[in-house]
Amino acid sequence: MTETIQKRINDSKAMRWTALILIALMMFFGYMFVDVMSPLQSLVEQERGWSPSVFGTYAASEYLLNVFGFLIIAGVILDKCGIRFTGELSASMMFIGAAIKFYAVSDWFPGTGLATWLDSWWITMPASAKLASFGFMIFGCGCEMAGTTVSKAIAKWFKGKEMALAMGLEMAIARVGVFAIFSISPILAEKMGSIAAPVGFCTALVFIGLITYTVFTFMDRKLDAQLGADGSNETSDEEFKVADLKNILTSQIFWVVALLCVLYYSAIFPFQRYGANMLQCNLDGISPAAASNIFRWFPIGAAVITPFLGSFLDHKGKGATMLMWGAILLIACHLIFAFVLPATHSHVIAYSTIVLLGISFALVPAALWPSVPKIIDEKVLGSAYCLIFWVQNIGLCFVPMLIGSVLASSNANNPAVIAAKEAGDEFIPYNYTMPLVIFACFGVAALILAIYLKAIDRKNHFGLEEPNIKA
């Protein structure tokens, strides 16, 4: 008797990579929206009166609801309702939040009753900033929930296949989005004569992301029909129970991964906010544009290398070792920025350290996210990703504030800073040594956790050092 083996939609290379492109586009547009206002800080100050501290509050609002528990609920929604519903919900929240922020910075908003009311309390925060922060908070919930949904979707579609390469490519595409918007946003704002133009442009792109994800859901429905699942919890036979969260939270390896994640990313994303200014201060006050030109090799370097490292992980493994090397490079780079760059003012050292940091930023994400399905039961994978993001978001929300205050206090008696402020100079030559040492300390703690992770993997055989594709 001949047995016919039913081919599934994700067995076709073309189909699973098409699925990846469709979901990665949602994240690409999402990451563009996140940073659309980052290069416009001074313009927003001129046009809408947002001071640097208002800008900081607005930036933190992205993570606020997530930190106060939304991401935990998001994990339950993801595991209970599946990747189709949660993806659509996240993309819709991203679009609604984006549209609110667009309205807040548009010329239609000032003079309305809502604007007058919002201006009547907490007067240091303009009405436009309050409403934009509210929109960004909703967008941030959608975007982080989408990030976890995408990881779970890739784990489902690429299980036993090129999973790490697919996750690496998805992250690479998102990083290209950051690079692209840093280049496009100032041009659009200048050409259209308003900060609302790039925000409106990216809001439209976020809507396109909602459409591409919707197309993916039709493909995923087909995969479920082939898997014989009912579509509510697409990948698992067993029903998810909220009580399962207890198993995650009491798992030692979960906490090792979550803490490693928050420590590592706290030395990356918050650094990204200060990086260009740090280069300016250490390279004899080069222009902000010249500093950005050096700094943008960081996300682009990571984008180019991440898929190769993902492919390496698929075929050769060594995930825990990659995490260790990523942390070692992170420590080395921050120490070079802290001590070698201020002493040498060398552009060659600046460029090569940025490239090294890009390699680190490829090593850790490429190894970290595909390792989660190896240590966590599939039916609670969504909750596990969300809980890791939750712990990480706490760091991303508060570390920039910590770094900002350390930068201010460690420069309080800096004569060059005092003189520049007294002279009313636009450029303030801050000394970044203390914040950079803090970033390096995060790296040291992440390294210790990576070494520990490798040890418990060796003992418990989680397979972190094993390839995803078995020959």
Ligand X SMILES: C[C@H](NC(=O)[C@@H](N)CCCCN)C(=O)O
Nearest distance from C-beta of residue 345 to ligand X, angstroms: 31
* Residue 309 binds to ligand X (criterion: CB under 6 A): no
For 120, residues 6+ apart whose C-beta sits below 8 A from its C-beta are none
Window 230-259: residues binding ligand X (CB under 6 A): none
- Which residue's CB is nearer to ligand X, number 21 or number 290? 21
- Which residue's CB is nearer to ligand X, number 140 or number 317? 140
- Which residue's CB is nearer to ligand X, number 207 or number 269? 269
Pairwise CA distance, residues 188 & 123, whole Å: 30
* Residue 90 binds to ligand X (criterion: CB under 6 A): no
- Which residue's CB is nearer to ligand X, number 103 or number 390? 390
* Residue 155 binds to ligand X (criterion: CB under 6 A): no
The distance in angstroms from the start CA to the end CA of the chain is 28
- Which residue's CB is nearer to ligand X, number 283 or number 375? 375
* Residue 275 binds to ligand X (criterion: CB under 6 A): no
- Which residue's CB is nearer to ligand X, number 171 or number 248? 171
Percent helix, strand, coil in the chain, to 5, is 80, 0, 20
Nearest distance from C-beta of residue 23 to ligand X, angstroms: 13
Nearest distance from C-beta of residue 55 to ligand X, angstroms: 15
HEC readout, 287-340:
CHHHHHHHHCHHHHHHHHHHHHHHHHHHHHCCHHHHHHHHHHHHHHHHHHHHHH
* Residue 365 binds to ligand X (criterion: CB under 6 A): yes
Angle between helices 52-65 and 381-410 (to 10 degrees): 160
* Residue 171 binds to ligand X (criterion: CB under 6 A): yes
Q: What does the block give as tokens for 427?
A: 């450029």
- Which residue's CB is nearer to ligand X, number 350 or number 362? 362
Side-chain-facing half-sphere of 108: CA atoms under 13 Å: 9
Nearest distance from C-beta of residue 178 to ligand X, angstroms: 8
Site for ligand X (CB under 6 A): how many residues? Answer: 11
- Which residue's CB is nearer to ligand X, number 30 or number 126? 30
Cα–Cα distances in Å, from 343 out to 203, 293, 351, 354, 435?
A: 44, 22, 15, 17, 17
* Residue 442 binds to ligand X (criterion: CB under 6 A): no
Phi–psi pair at 224, nearest 5 degrees:
-65, -35
Nearest distance from C-beta of residue 116 to ligand X, angstroms: 32
Nearest distance from C-beta of residue 365 to ligand X, angstroms: 4
Among 269, 308, 339, 452, which residue sits at the site for ligand X (rule: CB under 6 A)? 269
For 237, residues 6+ apart whose C-beta sits below 8 A from its C-beta are none
Nearest distance from C-beta of residue 342 to ligand X, angstroms: 28
Nearest distance from C-beta of residue 147 to ligand X, angstroms: 5
- Per-residue burial over 87-124, b = 16 or more CB atoms within 10 Å of its CB, e = otherwise: bbbbbebbbebbbbbbbbbbeebeeeeebeebeeeeee
From residue 18 to residue 37, the character string flagging contacts with ligand X as x (rule: CB under 6 A) and all else as - is ----------------x---
Pairwise CA distance, residues 291 & 432, whole Å: 15
* Residue 147 binds to ligand X (criterion: CB under 6 A): yes
- Which residue's CB is nearer to ligand X, number 341 or number 367? 367
* Residue 97 binds to ligand X (criterion: CB under 6 A): no
Other residues' Cβ atoms within 10 Å of the Cβ of residue 423 = 7
Taking a C-beta distance cutoff of 8 angstroms, is the pair 162, 311 a contact? yes
Q: What does the block give as tokens for 269?
A: 């994303």
Pairwise CA distance, residues 24 & 32, whole Å: 12
Taking a C-beta distance cutoff of 8 angstroms, is the pair 242, 309 a contact? no
- Which residue's CB is nearer to ligand X, number 202 or number 350? 202
* Residue 284: exposure state from Cβ atoms within 10 A (0-12, 13-18, ≥19): exposed
Side-chain-facing half-sphere of 9: CA atoms under 13 Å: 21
Among 88, 144, 314, 378, which residue sits at the site for ligand X (rule: CB under 6 A)? 144
- Which residue's CB is nearer to ligand X, number 70 or number 389? 389
Among 57, 282, 353, 392, which residue sits at the site for ligand X (rule: CB under 6 A)? 392
Output the CA angle 462-465-471, nearest 5 degrees.
100
136: nearest Cα among 42, 26, 56 = 56
User: Tokens 């940025």 appear where?
Assistant: 354
Among 213, 216, 271, 389, which residue sits at the site for ligand X (rule: CB under 6 A)? 389
Nearest distance from C-beta of residue 414 to ligand X, angstroms: 30
Nearest distance from C-beta of residue 109 to ligand X, angstroms: 25
Q: Closest residue to ligand X, Cβ-based?
A: 365
Phi–psi pair at 8, nearest 5 degrees:
-100, 165
Nearest distance from C-beta of residue 62 to ligand X, angstroms: 7
- Which residue's CB is nearer to ligand X, number 235 or number 266? 266
Chain residues binding ligand X by CB under 6 A are 34, 144, 147, 171, 174, 265, 269, 365, 369, 389, 392
